[in-house]
Amino acid sequence: MHIFPALLSQDITELQTQIKLLAAHCEGFHIDIMDGIFVRQKMGSIELTNQIAKLSGKQLWVHLMVQNPLEYIEQLKIHAGDIVTFHYLPNINQEPIIESIERKNLRPSLGINPKTQIATLKNALYAVDHVTVMSVEPGKAGQKFIHSTLKKLELLNAFKETHEKDITIAVDGGVNAINIAKLAALEVTEVAVTTAIFGSENPVKALKELSKKL
């Protein structure tokens, strides 16, 4: 499993310190962009994300919680192969969003909210090979892991097997030392982690401890 520390600071100097501290111990970094419309909170920006890409040679996982993802995708200047998560909505045509991400040699990931049922996603899942399962309500750090996420992961794995579809499963929200091994057992291969790392007095030690749980 790959652990992506979720960078929440809006200060580029602090971000530079965090990246330098953790880069040797993780696969990459997770970045949230929220527009204050799709979710209530406003955080992150394209400009800051592009700056982080210059600071780190690690893979980035950019999570767009925005009303108009196409507008943001066009402005991204990050590494080829970086992950870009956009959220599934039943009334939104996801094809142009996927195409826009792929044109930039980035990897599209379908974000699945806690209340979204796997059974409603059949057609949407055929179009991607990466999904981000939200294990908290999007838009706020520090929430507790929603236990029903485990059942959703089981259903997602059943879909993969039934339809012989190769999908990378990522989880975002509430991941900690208590549940990370359970997620790995359910074929989750990427997790975004905030509080369990940055809520510690020693983020490097906390990250290493999470890795040991695997």
What positions carry a catalytic annotation? 32, 172
For the chain, the maximum distance between any two Cα atoms, rounded to a whole number of angstroms, is 48
Query: Rounded to an integer, what is the distance from CA 16 to the centroid of its chain?
Result: 20
Kindly list the distances between the CA atom of residue 44 and the CA atoms of 34, 145, 199, in Å, as whole numbers in the listed order.
6, 23, 19
Kindly list the distances between the CA atom of residue 13 and the CA atoms of 9, 18, 19, 53, in Å, as whole numbers in the listed order.
9, 9, 10, 14
Would you give the end-to-end CA distance of the chain in angstroms?
Answer: 8
Kindly list the distances between the CA atom of residue 112 and the CA atoms of 12, 44, 138, 214, in Å, as whole numbers in the listed order.
30, 20, 10, 24
Q: Would you say the C-alpha torsion 40, 43, 46, 50 has a positive or negative sign?
A: negative
